[in-house]
Amino acid sequence: MPELAKKQNEEGAIAFVKYYFDLVNYSLETHTVDDITKITMRSCKVCGDNLIDPVSSRAKLKYWQVGGQYDADVESVKKTSSTEAILSFSATAEKTEIYSAPSELVARGTASEEPITGITVLRWDDGWKMFDLKFSE
């Protein structure tokens, strides 16, 4: 984790969210969730239901993913207390293909044509942790 992301201030929160999306990409590419699980609170339903659990399941099935990388930019940050920060972000995602064997396509996702916007809530617990993440509809 970058040193700046370990700071309990707005700049640290921004660096943490950027690092978090880097870990999302790493988890999708490697089908490992150990690193991202350490900095994600289970209260983050989107994180668990749409990333950690599916990636773990695909790893057990020996599936792999091609593409699907996120590129995220933090738009704004507000530290609401000494232990909480709320950030808005925009992100784009590449098209995704999931395979079970060479040339055995299991699923495909399209690239985002427009940036996706969302909000994250971080909580400080011996470091920033992802408490909640919501994408706009």
Do residues 118 and 88 make contact, with C-beta atoms less than 8 angstroms apart? yes
Mean pLDDT of 74-92: 97
Q: Strand 128-135 relative to strand 116-124: parallel, antiparallel, unpaired? A: antiparallel
Quote the pLDDT of residue 113: 85
Do residues 119 and 13 make contact, with C-beta atoms less than 8 angstroms apart? no
pLDDT, tens only, 16-32? 999 999 999 999 999 99
Do residues 132 and 118 make contact, with C-beta atoms less than 8 angstroms apart? no
- Rounded Cα distance between 28 and 65, Å, is 7
pLDDT bracket for residue 99 (50, 70, 90): very high
Q: Is the dihedral of CA 26, 98, 115, 127 positive or negative?
A: negative
C-alpha separations of 87 from 18, 91, 128 in Å: 11, 13, 13
Do residues 82 and 8 make contact, with C-beta atoms less than 8 angstroms apart? yes
pLDDT, tens only, 34-80? 999 999 999 999 999 999 999 999 999 999 899 999 999 999 999 99
Quote the pLDDT of residue 37: 97
Q: What is the mean pLDDT of the chain?
A: 95
Mean pLDDT of 91-113: 93
State the fold for domain 3-135. Answer: Nuclear Transport Factor 2; Chain: A, (3.10.450)
Quote the pLDDT of residue 66: 92
